[in-house]
Structure 1
Amino acid sequence: MTQIDLSPQKKKVADKVVILSKELIILLVVFTISLFSFLFIAYRVFYLDKTGADEKAFAFAHSLVSNDMTEIMEVITFFGSHYFLIPANVLLCIYFLVKKRGRYSIKVSAIALSSVSIMFGLKLLFNRHRPLIPLLAPAKGLSFPSGHAFMSVCFYGLLMIIIWKEEKAHPVLKWTLLLLVIALLLSIGFSRIYLRVHYFTDVLAGYSIGSLWLFLSSYIIDRIKPAGLTSAPQAP
């Protein structure tokens, strides 16, 4: 069989096509799973009125209640609140601007701002009220989907994408950081259930729609090439 010898320029183009195909496949898989998960949860909660999972989650969380655990959950839930995420997004944008990686700064700000609009729109659309008996102080606003889960997926999920694409990072460090971020992300969701300010289905819906929007918007932004911006490093 004759082996085709590609020029460096053609090989570079071929590599980009392969990367683009992989990213598109990942996007389609995540988009499909996230969309159907969100629709399935919404259908069960608002059409079938099935809330057994919420009651079981509250019962499990109640079995763990203690003063020490409550203090831990209050700290964890802070990292998914707007009090933390707004300055964290601003600082991340500034960091990438200083590092002259404009694409990442645009991606962080665009995803943060758009996700807030989507979150409030969905809350108004479904109009689900908060759990009646919060563990501590009642939370403001509507319940479905969880804003903490939604916004945390958009912020921490983007961090995971950036970490994954960082070619210079040592594999052990990269996986350690990814696992720590995943653990924090899941803990934030559980803290909302523990504090009884969100239902289990609120949190799952927030994770689902947040993942959908994160991957879709990230993919779209990566396809846009404004003049003067540094391209984000591609995944190997």
Structure 2
Amino acid sequence: MLAVALIIMTVLSAGPLHPIDNLINNAPRPFWEELRLPLILWPDTVASRFVALPVLGVTCVQLAYWYRSWRPIILGAVGPFGMMSLVAAMKLLFSRGHPRTGDPSFFADSGVSFPSGHGANAILIYGLVLFLIIRYRAARPHIVRRLAYCIVGIAVLQSVVSVYLQFHWFTDLLTGMVAGGLALVLTIRLDRLIPQGRTALWWPWYGRSLWRGEDSTGEDADASAQRG
């Protein structure tokens, strides 16, 4: 469904939604001089890779350490790589011009506006953090709900800021979120494809020798294999 939605959003962004893009892009921007720099330095960086990837990295390493499994690290590496590959390929293929050019058409002489990498980051990277927390039951249900609300808030904030600053067309952001959602679903499917306990067998510390593959703690290693 998300793959179909991505195709539909791409087709709509190529022409039918141009009036909406132009309407939002040409809307008045009050307090432009006062807000522009603070928005660039703070809210616009929330969904950037420089902020989101360290959050994901810390989560993956901590869960891998707790559960003696490489699975969180594998998912934390494959998910963002797949998402960035998808977004980069679409950017190069469609070559949409920057909103400040005033032309939302595809195949411009220069431009990599479509889709939004920040929009994809907000869904894939923070969504993967939430998925790992849920999978390993690292937080209570009410905390998980609040984290889900935070992800929605980050996505909305990123969209509003990017549109206000004219960094992206409106449809760039929507399509980027769909692309991030698709990459997140594929990453979750990858987790289901990895046999249960397989990544714990490779874990070099806490009960298993890296070179000999022998158990040194018996029941603890078996328990970690079941969790991984």
Q: Bin the TM-score by the shorter chain.
A: 0.7 to 0.9
CA apart distance, 1:197: 0.8
What are the Cα deviations for residues 137-187 of structure 1, in whole angstroms up to 9, with x where unaligned? Answer: xxx961000011112211011122234445463332221222122211221
- The residue aligned with 1:182 is 152
- The residue aligned with 1:109 is 77
CA apart distance, 1:210: 1.1
Q: How many residues align?
A: 196
Q: Please give the alpha-carbon distance, in whole angstroms, between the structure 2 residues aligned to 1:130 and 1:103.
A: 39
TM-score by length of 1: 0.70
Superposed, 1:157-236 pairs within 5 Å as 157-167=127-137, 169-225=139-195, 227-229=198-200
- The residue aligned with 2:43 is 76
Alpha carbons of structure 1 residues 232 and 73: separation in structure 2 relative to 1, 3 Å:
farther
Q: What one-letter code is carried by the residue in structure 2 that aligns with 1:227?
A: R
- The residue aligned with 1:132 is 100
TM-score by length of 2: 0.73
CA apart distance, 1:75: 1.0
Helix, strand or coil for the counterpart of 1:169? coil
Q: What one-letter code is carried by the residue in structure 1 that aligns with 2:4?
A: F
Of 62-71 and 191-200, the range deviating more from structure 2: 62-71
CA apart distance, 1:61: 7.0
Alpha carbons of structure 1 residues 168 and 202: separation in structure 2 relative to 1, 3 Å:
closer
- The residue aligned with 1:153 is 123
Q: Please give the alpha-carbon distance, in whole angstroms, between the structure 1 residues aligned to 2:57 and 2:138.
A: 24
* Sequence identity (%): 20
Q: Please give the alpha-carbon distance, in whole angstroms, between the structure 2 residues aligned to 1:116 and 1:232.
A: 32
Alpha carbons of structure 1 residues 206 and 61: separation in structure 2 relative to 1, 3 Å:
farther
Q: Is the 8 A contact 2:96 2:113 kept in 1?
A: yes
Q: Is the 8 A contact 2:56 2:129 kept in 1?
A: no
Q: Please give the alpha-carbon distance, in whole angstroms, between the structure 2 residues aligned to 1:60 and 1:37.
A: 27
CA apart distance, 1:67: 2.0
The structure, 1 or 2, with the larger RCO (C-alpha pairs under 8 Å, 6+ apart) is: 1
What are the Cα deviations for residues 97-139 of structure 1, in whole angstroms up to 9, with x where unaligned? Answer: 32224212211111012222121111111111211269xxxxx
Q: Please give the alpha-carbon distance, in whole angstroms, between the structure 2 residues aligned to 1:127 and 1:57.
A: 20
Structure 1: state its 5+ residue gaps. 1-31, 135-139
Q: Please give the alpha-carbon distance, in whole angstroms, between the structure 2 residues aligned to 1:155 and 1:57.
A: 27
Alpha carbons of structure 1 residues 144 and 179: separation in structure 2 relative to 1, 3 Å:
same
Alpha carbons of structure 1 residues 177 and 39: separation in structure 2 relative to 1, 3 Å:
same
Structure 2: state its 5+ residue gaps. 103-109, 201-223
